[in-house]
Chain A
Amino acid sequence: MLNYTIRRLLFAIPVLLFISFIIFLILDLAPSDPTGNLPLTIPPEVREKIRQSLGLGEPMYWRYLMWCKQFFINEPLNIWDQWMGTCSFNCEDRLRVISYVTRSPVVDLIVERLPQTLWVVGMSYVVGILIAIPVGVISAYRQYSIFDQAGTFVSMVGYSVPPFFSGVLVIVIFSVQLGWFPSIYDTTLKVTDWASFKMQLRQMVLPVMVLALQTTAQISRFMRASMLDNLNMDYVRTARAKGMKERTVLLVHVLRNSLIPVVTVIALAVPSIFGGAIITEQVFKVNGIGQLLIIGIQGGDAPLVQTLTFIFAVLIVLFNLIADILYGILDPRIRYD
């Protein structure tokens, strides 16, 4: 298992490097000019100087290598120094990935935005899983019952209704018509006392609901299919024949075995939930990393977009790996070596 993990990790390195190069190439081939948004009164020679100061005068491969050095060596060193409060390898003149627009380090921008995204996305994922697993279990146990049919329909709807419609719809219903929840997620809110905590809960309800609907739709179907596979197994009949309580059979024997494939699905879907959060953040005006990406794209901020997109790619590769390893650990029949 350890062998397999190390091999996969080693294989992930060239894949990620290649992906970062593709992203860089796409951003570089594009005919956009980072000085295009500056006022027209700036004379051309100053504009050229600004372009030089952004590093645009260098050849392409050189700029890519610089980005690699900044992202893979300088940024981790910087994080290390910040944690330890040290200054290793002359930290004063260490170059970091700098945003074209704000002229501040990209990683700092992302770190600033990350908690909001993680709160909303992470919470919705947890809520979605907590709803999906019981729904899947009951649908499978009472297959073709009214509950199962309704569950199938709701998950079909969850698949089909895009978050930019369900989000707008819940805003119209719960915020415009009923006035129960705020429609905009206020990230400046500090939770200090009970009232602000209630406020925080209220503003999280709508975005979490929208994202959780998508998660629930996917995972409850997997849970149901996996339960159905296991319910017909011989070991279930044996357990019942031994005179075990139905509860024990269902919740101990069948559920534990059915969760194995579902856990891997949960791991695999984590990156895509970040992708879906891009739209949900836009709907509820959450200033998380999805919104940061949109701003970066609209402003032609190549280093920011490059870094963020690459982080998304890292998430995908990482969670694929985690899913495979989890499957191997949880199911002793799976051996990769």
Chain B
Amino acid sequence: MTDAAKAAEKPRSQWADVWAQFRSHRGAMIGMGFFVFICLLVIFGPMLWDIAPNKIDIRAKNQGPSLAHPFGTDQLGRDTFAQVLAGGRVSLLVGVTAMAISLFLGTLVGVLAGYFKRLDSPLMRLTDLFLALPILPLLLVIIMLFRDPLRAAFGPEKGIFILVVFVIGITSWMHTARIVRGDVLSLKEQEFVLAARSIGTPPHRMILRHILPNVLSPIMVSATLGIATAIITESAISFLGLGFPSDFPTWGRLLSDSTNFMSLHPERVIWPGLAISLTVLAVNYIGDGLRDALDPRIRGR
């Protein structure tokens, strides 16, 4: 028997099915390719592109695209390409970290509320309360007011990073919590949970072994969408001038800085804006593909 035949006979695992379905979603594959490309570019790009993002070369200011500066230079002669690469590092890092925090909080609240009946009502009231908060104004207020103490405690860049990530994380967990709670509630009624309970499984193992793996798919989908919203929120804060300090590039910051020169050098606005939009578009397409791939009703059609 050949190897190929053996492989064909092997029972297909769930994740192989998911991957096969995901691959058939063209937008999701393109999005994934682009996202991986952007990630590699911002991680390894600055090592290969040896112009420092904050190197000021005033004689080469306001240049258009050229071989030496493929995206041109800004009003101080800093290389826009290097800045976009450095900004992408921060923006993506903020997106992923904020998403991780909001996912952790959302899953925790959702599982606790769904599994323990006594916690359900207070936790869901808390979720409703958070949903009623006007998020963007509050974000701006919190960042404006707590910027200085955190800056003093952790240094200008790290302080703002911690602040932005935490603030985005603790204001965006509510939707995950609601979805997870709904799924846990329906899982709890199923027979395998009853079986597991009848052999005396303690609650913590029940949650970790039986409940969590089964709510993984909605969590994964909201993770991808969470990255997208976190990137947009961070850029919006930076755009309004309340995020990172101005010598510390992020995509939103670059966009906001270049809007001041919009009528003279309109092309400079394009790069950071395009970077934000394409990354978010890619992540949204990945989320779309994942949702289809992880839904067993659609899979197999």
Contacts and interface: CB of A to CB of B under 8 A. Distances in A.
B281 A160 contact: yes
Interface of A is mostly: helix
B65 interface: no
Interface in A237-286: 271, 275, 278-279, 282-283
Give the interface centre of A18, A161, A275, A298 by most chain B CB atoms within 10 Å.
A161
Interface residues of A, number: 45
Interface of B is mostly: helix
B28 to A, nearest CB: 11
Interface in A176-197: 176-177, 183
B134 interface: yes
Nearest 5 A-B pairs (CB), nearest first? A30-B145, A312-B134, A165-B273, A160-B281, A172-B266
Given A157-B281, A159-B280, A172-B262, 20 more contacts: A29-B145, A30-B146, A31-B149, A160-B228, A160-B284, A161-B281, A162-B236, A162-B276, A162-B277, A165-B273, A165-B277, A168-B273, A172-B270, A275-B134, A279-B236, A279-B240, A283-B259, A309-B138, A312-B137, A316-B131
Give the interface centre of A22, A162, A298 by most chain B CB atoms within 10 Å.
A162
Interface in B140-156: 140-142, 144-146, 148-149
Contact of B135 (A275, A282, A297, A298): A275
Interface of B: 27, 128-129, 131-138, 140-142, 144-146, 148-149, 228, 232, 235-236, 239-240, 242, 252, 255-256, 259, 262-263, 266, 269-270, 273, 276-277, 280-281, 284-285, 288
A297 B277 contact: no
Nearest to B143: A297
Contact of B129 (A15, A177, A283): A15
B269 A169 contact: yes
A308 B134 CA distance: 10
Given A22-B133, A316-B134, A177 B276 contact: no
Contacts of A32: 144-145
A309 B269 contact: no
Contacts, number: 119
A19 interface: yes
Contacts of A298: 144
A29 B144 CA distance: 12
Contact of A165 (B128, B138, B255, B263): B255
A54 interface: no
7 contacts: A26-B145, A156-B284, A168-B255, A172-B269, A177-B266, A275-B134, A316-B134
Contacts of B140: 293-294, 297
A70 interface: no
A26 B145 CA distance: 9
B145 A19 contact: no
B277 A278 contact: no
Give the interface centre of A278, A297, A308, A317 by most chain B CB atoms within 10 Å.
A297
A156 B269 contact: no
Contacts of A200: none
B284 A159 contact: yes
A164 B239 contact: yes
A209 interface: no
A176 B281 contact: no
B236 A27 contact: no
B228 A164 contact: no
Contacts of B136: 275, 278
A305 B139 CA distance: 12
